[in-house]
């Protein structure tokens, strides 16, 4: 596997194309299916952001407990 392929971020790629997929789908979809996809992507985005912010807050907690400052 090439180094380029091994560094592809699937979530970032998916989020980059999300608005384009919604605005110009390749195949026309019924509104119910569009809403289902939109709900799934919204949930995915919220989950990724939640994990990110939990990680950041844990880093701050660990560094504050140790008495070190983040630089």
Mean pLDDT by 10 residues, the chain (71 residues): 62 75 80 88 87 87 69 53
Q: How many domains does the chain have?
A: 1
Give residue 34's pLDDT. 83
Q: What is the pLDDT of residue 32?
A: 92
Integer Rg of the chain from CA:
18
Q: For residue 53, is it within any domain?
A: yes
Decide if 44 is inside a domain: yes
Query: Angle, nearest 10°, between helix axes 10-23 and 31-66?
Result: 150
pLDDT at 57: 87
Contact assessment for residue 69 and residue 59, using Cβ atoms and an 8 Å cutoff: no
Instruction: Specify the pLDDT at position 14.
Output: 73
Whether residue 22 contacts residue 38, with contact meaning beta carbons closer than 8 Å, is answered with yes
Residue 47 inside a domain? The answer is: yes
- Domain of residue 34 covers 3-66
Residue 71 falls within a domain, yes or no?
no
């Amino acid at each position: 596997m090439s180094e380029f392929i091994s560094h592809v971020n699937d979530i970032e790629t998916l989020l980059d194309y999300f608005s384009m997929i919604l605005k110009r789908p390749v195949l026309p979809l019924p509104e119910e299916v569009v809403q289902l996809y939109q709900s799934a992507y919204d949930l995915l985005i919220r989950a990724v952001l939640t994990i990110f912010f939990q990680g950041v807050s844990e880093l701050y907690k660990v560094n504050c407990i140790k008495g070190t400052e983040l630089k």
